[in-house]
């Protein structure tokens, strides 16, 4: 009996001990939890908040829409239109059974994106398993994007972005350029003014739940809006210039062609057209060579188009006057024969321009120190970029020596030994049309024209301008540029091209450049046809008709009053 009582007593004590131990353990656990709670809530509350935020807060980019590029009248040349990026979350797709071939939606996605089914599968799952974002397509048409969204495929998402659209297409492609898939300018105006057009994207901090849904907006850092750009270009005149130069390249089987039109009063570039061009809205299989703006990148020896500058220098230095007559019989200098295509015994200064006499112009140049010609060309801007702000502009090739030999001076006077861009050369004629005032050129619309700098006396330049009118009259090399009802002052030129080895090759560049109307010049225009191969290669035959066609349309479009005082009926082959 006593033993039984002891056993019961021991059992009671054991239960009491276990209960006490459990009680104290619970007390200790509660104290630990309270201590932890106090630490988290009072002593160091930021740590848990930070860890929670790291799991749920996300920073989202708030992109800006790229600025619009328009012509001087607000007509759009480059705009951003809505598009979608299609992306996949490989992990989510795997969690839903992967890409199931029997699920027709995956086949539809493959067809819509033009991605073969197996390639689509490998593109999604061949990447790092930790990656939860894989692009499938960029800049997808909104109609297609919405169709894909309706497929309701697990792990397939759309992200709104934009793509660039160019309403004028190939007409302005070489000037405007293009952007890459991330809307960064990589050619032309798009690249040159990329920062201005882009702005600065903002940031949006949001809280997401475990399913990735936004449940709270935390904060927003405002973006800096992109800027629009208004160019000096007139889209209508650009289309005229492009159509004419493109037709000239095709009809003459030429390598390329360029036309640039300038408003003499403001220095604004109204048209800058190149051929061949490309479609900036579809770059599939495009040759990158087609993308450059030849008006500012390609350089050639200008040939006879420099002759008016030599006459200006000769008049300024008092070597001749407008009534002087020069012996133009062929002659030899340092073992080289200087000759003309058609021989004349003697020519007046005006006739030297009209007949484009190398003999006459070289004799004028040799009558002056070579520095006089070098300085004259330099004052007109040769050897320097025009600083219109377009990337890729060449400064040309200009002699570094201060003095030229006699033979160097002779050939320099008719456009060899110096290389220029199309834009540099048309600026020379804009300055002549402005009667000796060099005005900065601009590819952006000018609200307040810059006054410009006088580099030559007005009375001298006026005389040469009048002489240049003879080139488009009967007997002149540029008769095919004549425009019924208008006086024009031009110069044609033909120059041999230099090959890769630095030697002349049997290819030519045909020029016609000038101003109109000659009585009060408003526009300067240059037409360059590179390597015509359809029989003719002289500027007077190849580029002069194009000049007349473009300038005639420009004058009529601006309702410029006809100023021709000559007998139009006596001019043959009027365009």
Q: Are 228 and 64 in contact (CB under 8 A)?
A: no
The dihedrals phi and psi of 442, each to the nearest 5 degrees, come to -145, 135
Q: Are 340 and 358 in contact (CB under 8 A)?
A: yes
Residue 548 vs residues 71, 275, 389: alpha-carbon distances, Å: 24, 18, 29
Identify the CA nearest to 425 among candidates 549, 258, 563: 258
Residue numbers annotated as active site: 304
In three-state secondary structure terms, 200 is strand
Q: Are 351 and 407 in contact (CB under 8 A)?
A: no
| Whole-angstrom distance, CA of residue 472 vs CA of residue 387 | 32
CA dihedral 560, 565, 571, 574 (to 10 degrees): 0
DSSP state letters, 76-126: EEEEEEEEEEEEE-HHHHHHTTS--TT-HHHHHHHHHTT--HHHHHHHHHS
In three-state secondary structure terms, 199 is coil
* CB count in 10 Å sphere of residue 144: 15
| Whole-angstrom distance, CA of residue 466 vs CA of residue 462 | 6
Place of tokens 């030899």: 332
Burial code of 523-540, b = ≥16 C-beta within 10 A, e = fewer? bbbbbbbbbbeeeebbbb
| Whole-angstrom distance, CA of residue 511 vs CA of residue 348 | 23
| Whole-angstrom distance, CA of residue 465 vs CA of residue 488 | 9
In three-state secondary structure terms, 328 is coil
Place of tokens 């200087």: 338
Residue 408 vs residues 332, 333, 337: alpha-carbon distances, Å: 13, 10, 13
| Whole-angstrom distance, CA of residue 218 vs CA of residue 150 | 30
Q: Is the peptide bond before 372 cis (omega within 30 degrees of 0)?
A: no
Q: Is the peptide bond before 517 cis (omega within 30 degrees of 0)?
A: yes
| Whole-angstrom distance, CA of residue 451 vs CA of residue 496 | 37
Burial code of 469-502, b = ≥16 C-beta within 10 A, e = fewer? bbbbbeebbbbbbbbeebbbbbbbbbbbebeeee
| Whole-angstrom distance, CA of residue 499 vs CA of residue 312 | 32
> Which one-letter DSSP state was computed for residue 309?
H
Which helix (H) or strand (E) segment holds residue 206: the answer is: strand 202-208
């Amino acid at each position: 009996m006593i033993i039984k009582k002891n056993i019961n007593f021991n059992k009671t004590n054991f239960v009491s001990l276990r209960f006490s131990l459990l009680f104290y353990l619970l007390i200790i656990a509660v104290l630990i939890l309270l201590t932890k709670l106090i630490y988290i809530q009072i002593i160091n509350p930021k740590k848990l908040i930070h860890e929670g935020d790291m799991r749920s807060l996300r920073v989202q980019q708030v992109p800006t829409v790229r600025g619009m590029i328009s012509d001087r009248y607000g007509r759009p040349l480059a705009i951003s239109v809505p598009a979608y990026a299609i992306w996949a979350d490989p992990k989510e797709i795997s969690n839903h059974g992967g890409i199931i071939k029997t699920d027709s939606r995956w086949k539809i996605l493959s067809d819509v994106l033009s991605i073969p089914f197996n390639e689509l599968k490998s593109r999604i799952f061949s990447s790092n398993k930790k990656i939860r974002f894989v692009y499938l397509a960029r800049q997808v048409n909104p109609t297609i994007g919405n169709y894909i969204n309706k497929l309701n495929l697990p792990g397939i998402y759309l992200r709104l972005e934009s793509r660039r659209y160019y309403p004028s297409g190939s007409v302005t492609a070489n000037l405007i350029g293009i952007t890459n898939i991330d809307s960064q300018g990589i050619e032309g105006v798009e690249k040159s003014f990329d920062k201005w057009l882009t702005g600065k994207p903002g940031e949006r901090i949001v809280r997401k739940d475990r399913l990735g849904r936004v449940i709270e907006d935390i904060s927003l850092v405002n973006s800096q809006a992109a800027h629009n750009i208004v160019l000096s270009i007139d889209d209508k005149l650009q289309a005229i210039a492009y159509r004419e130069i493109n037709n000239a390249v095709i009809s003459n089987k030429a390598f390329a062609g360029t036309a640039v039109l300038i408003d003499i009063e403001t220095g604004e570039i109204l048209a800058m057209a190149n051929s061949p061009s490309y479609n900036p809205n579809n770059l599939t299989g495009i040759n990158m060579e087609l993308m450059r703006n030849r008006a500012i990148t390609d350089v050639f020896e200008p040939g006879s188009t420099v002759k008016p500058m030599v006459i200006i220098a000769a008049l300024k230095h008092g070597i001749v006057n407008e009534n002087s007559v020069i012996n133009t019989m062929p002659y030899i200098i340092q073992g080289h024969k200087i000759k003309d295509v058609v021989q004349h015994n003697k020519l007046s200064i005006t006739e030297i321009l009209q007949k484009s006499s190398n003999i006459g112009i070289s004799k004028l140049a040799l009558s002056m120190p070579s520095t006089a010609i070098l300085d004259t060309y330099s004052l007109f801007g040769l050897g320097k970029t025009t600083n219109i702000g377009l990337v890729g502009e060449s400064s040309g090739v200009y002699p570094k020596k201060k003095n030229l030999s006699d033979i160097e001076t002779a050939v320099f006077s008719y456009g060899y030994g110096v290389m220029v861009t199309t834009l540099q050369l048309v600026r020379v004629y804009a300055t002549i049309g402005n009667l000796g005032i060099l005005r900065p050129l601009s590819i952006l619309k000018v609200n307040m024209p810059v006054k410009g700098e006088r580099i030559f006396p007005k009375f001298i330049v006026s005389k040469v301008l009048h002489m240049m009118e003879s080139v488009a009259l009967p007997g002149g090399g540029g008769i095919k540029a004549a425009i019924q009802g208008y006086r024009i002052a031009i110069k044609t030129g033909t120059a041999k091209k230099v090959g890769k080895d630095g030697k002349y090759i049997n290819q030519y560049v045909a020029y016609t450049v000038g101003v109109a109307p000659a009585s009060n010049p408003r526009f300067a225009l240059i037409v360059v046809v590179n390597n015509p191969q359809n029989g003719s290669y002289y500027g007077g035959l190849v580029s002069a008709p194009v000049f007349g066609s473009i300038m005639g349309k420009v004058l009529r479009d601006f309702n410029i009053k006809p100023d021709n005082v000559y007998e139009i009926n006596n001019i043959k082959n009027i365009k």
